Structure 1
Amino acid sequence: MTIHSLYIYDRHCACVYYQDWHRTRRPKPAADGGLLPGVCATMSASASAAEAASSNALAAAFGSPRNSLLSSSSGVVVAEARSPLLPTLAPSAPVAPQQPGITSTGLPFDEEAKLVYGVIISLRNMVKKLSGKDEQFTAYRTSAYRLHLFETASGYKFVMLSDPGADSLRFVMRQIYVGPFLDYVVRNPLVSMDSKEHGIDNEYFRMAVDRMVRGLSVFS
């Protein structure tokens, strides 16, 4: 069993935070202007363009399109270089950098975030209509994953995707809320709450969430 990803939505229906751990199919970077700044650096269009420019600069500096130094979100550094003893060989076509074992879903991240939020709202409304106001939608399971939902009184929605065999993770999201979220986001005067212009751009919060999730017994 394992944990795949975490989304946080504010009361304006916007995704203000994203972090993933075990995803073999990652979405494409969001379209320009489709994602709030600070939500996730690896999923923003500007970060993708900056990474591509950096790779091109490195290739030009070393004189070969196959010389590249790429850093992934997992901290793994991949280097590839052609032998200087073969300068007369025609350079092969450049290959798009990709972390081993990671494929693309073919869906931009901003569209994926909207789909996840839409599923949550639809199922929550259905549960309320079928079971009454006292019932709450907290999770659903498919053959590929399980979605967990924790909603705060202020309207923030914490959504976590895990292995389908995992137990309820509402307590984990609640601990993230009462711990790192309150400490580094709510009580931080430098973080603008209920902002429609910026996501949760706080590295201390991101590191605290990562440390908390990796310390769980379900994480593997």
Structure 2
Amino acid sequence: MTIFSLYIFDRHCDCIYYQDWNRTRPLRAPSTTNFKPGVHRLAPAQPSQTAGTRESIFSSGFSSGGIGTGITKAGNAMGSGAGASQRGLPFDEEAKLVYGVVLSLRNMVKKLSGRDEPLTSYSTPHYKLHLYETLTGYRFVLLSDPSSDSLRFVLRQLYTGAFLEYVVRNPLIDMDSRTEGIDNDQFRSAVDRHMKSLSVFS
């Protein structure tokens, strides 16, 4: 079992933090116009930067990936040239796709159950998505190996531990910023240590 990546979304539906570990398809940098500093350690892609880009876990290589597959194929169809589908999505588009899948599934669960039941996870043959939502509107999304048990408790530990300590209580971080993400080396290191200490991490 292994852990692929972590996303944190704020109440404005923006991705404010991203980190990956055992990602099999490397991340493609976002375009310069959609670059939000502090979310991840990638520099924005230049207009001429096409060679050596990295694919998303949601790219067309996962043909039986369930819910994300149809959306991804449609997104790849908008790319230009024959190689567009092989390059995968830029980071900003991938983050929107992850949030869109979470939001759609939450609405579906609510309508099917008739109650406000929380979505905690879903799995495909290639990955498992774990979700933890806070009362303040933050959503922690973790992608892991499909054979892993629920890791929602890990996301809750991140929120009550490192997130509150290094982000919420940090006066230098604007918690309601629409222009930049969480650019905090202490938080990034704490998340990395926490994930690597888990028995499921490999």
Instruction: Measure, in 2, the Cα distance between the counterparts of 1:97 and 1:109.
Output: 15
Paired positions, count: 169
Instruction: Measure, in 2, the Cα distance between the counterparts of 1:133 and 1:204.
Output: 39
Counterpart of 1:4 in structure 2: which amino acid?
A: F
Instruction: Measure, in 2, the Cα distance between the counterparts of 1:105 and 1:177.
Output: 33
Mapping 1:1-220, distance limit 5 Å? 1-42=1-42, 44-45=43-44, 105-220=87-202
Shift of residue 193, structure 1, vs aligned partner? 0.4
Query: Which one has a larger percent strand, Structure 1 or Structure 2?
Result: 1
Q: Is the 8 A contact 2:53 2:87 kept in 1?
A: no
Instruction: Measure, in 2, the Cα distance between the counterparts of 1:106 and 1:27.
Output: 9
Kindly tell me: are residues 97 and 128 of structure 1, through their superposed partners in 2, closer, same or farther at Cα, counting changes over 3 Å? closer
Q: Is the 8 A contact 1:27 1:112 kept in 2?
A: no
Instruction: Measure, in 1, the Cα distance between the counterparts of 2:114 and 2:52.
Output: 50
Q: Which runs of no fewer than 5 residues in structure 1 stay unpaired?
A: 53-95
TM-score normalised over the length of structure 2: 0.79
* Structure 1 ranges of 4+ moved more than 6 A: none
Q: Is the 8 A contact 1:27 1:105 kept in 2?
A: no
Counterpart of 1:208 in structure 2: which amino acid?
A: A
Shift of residue 106, structure 1, vs aligned partner? 2.1
Instruction: Measure, in 1, the Cα distance between the counterparts of 2:174 and 2:87.
Output: 32
TM-score normalised over the length of structure 1: 0.73
Shift of residue 218, structure 1, vs aligned partner? 0.2
Shift of residue 98, structure 1, vs aligned partner? 8.0
Query: Based on CA coordinates, which of the two structures has the bigger radius of gyration?
Result: 1
Shift of residue 134, structure 1, vs aligned partner? 3.7
SS of the residue 1:124 aligns to: helix
Aligned to 1:61: none
